[in-house]
Structure 1
Amino acid sequence: MMYLPLLFVLFWIVFSLAVATIARAKNRSGFIWFFISFLCSPLIAIICVNCLPTIKKDGATQTSHSSIPQVMTALLRDCPECAEVIKSAAKKCKHCGSKVTALEAVS
């Protein structure tokens, strides 16, 4: 009977480690999620970490043509100066302000 509180703390730590493992699988900080689950509740933390999307490791945050729907790619192109995505008919880049040659839209 006197080992019950110790057993409770042991299970709390084990489930907090499980939350950290799930967080690492989603490319999030396991260390931070361990302490979040340890302080609030492992059950709540498991639910929260499972609701979060997985972070991609490549770190590509810049918009590229691959993330734009295929219908829109004919209307867009990259600026030759700053490589940001601009409209094909643009005469001036909205990002860097450089003048660009307007392209005709392909139908």
Structure 2
Amino acid sequence: MEDLIWYLLLVLSLFAGFSWYVAGEKGRDQNSWLILGALFGPLALFAVGVIPAIPTVSPGKTRECPTCGEVIKIQAQACKHCCRDVEPLEEGAV
């Protein structure tokens, strides 16, 4: 019986580790997925595997909206957050 418990702990640790790794590769919170992987095992690994990655935008290609202060792309002609018109800038202008 004791061997079974150690085996289950090992398997759940592996699922937790893989969930942690996949979450990091997709830009998700690794600590939360580590806990979920330890609690739910293969279900958490499957879930983190099918959710889309968080898109990353390079810092030099964004600016703040002058009206609402949210981050928008340099080439934006309207803010996607407040829907106000903004002047598009060239990439080297910021």
Q: TM-score range by the shorter chain?
A: 0.5 to 0.7
| 2:68 counterpart residue number | none
Task: Give the one of 78, 84, 89 matched to 1:95.
Answer: 84
Alpha-carbon distance in 1 for matches of 2:51, 2:73 = 21
Offset, 1:25: 0.7
Give the SS at the match of 1:19: helix
Q: Which runs of 5+ in 1 are unaligned?
A: 66-76, 79-83, 86-93, 97-107
Alpha-carbon distance in 1 for matches of 2:56, 2:41 = 26
Deviations 1:43-72 (A, max 9, x none): 11111111211112327663676xxxxxxx
Q: 1:8 to 1:56 in 2, by over 3 A?
A: same
The reply to whether residue 25 of structure 1 matches residue 25 of structure 2 is yes
Alpha-carbon distance in 2 for matches of 1:8, 1:42 = 10
Offset, 1:15: 1.3
Q: Number of residue pairs matched?
A: 72
CA RMSD of aligned residues (A): 2.8
Alpha-carbon distance in 2 for matches of 1:53, 1:64 = 25
Offset, 1:14: 1.4
Offset, 1:2: 2.9
The AA in structure 2 aligned to 1:95 is R
| 1:62 counterpart residue number | 72
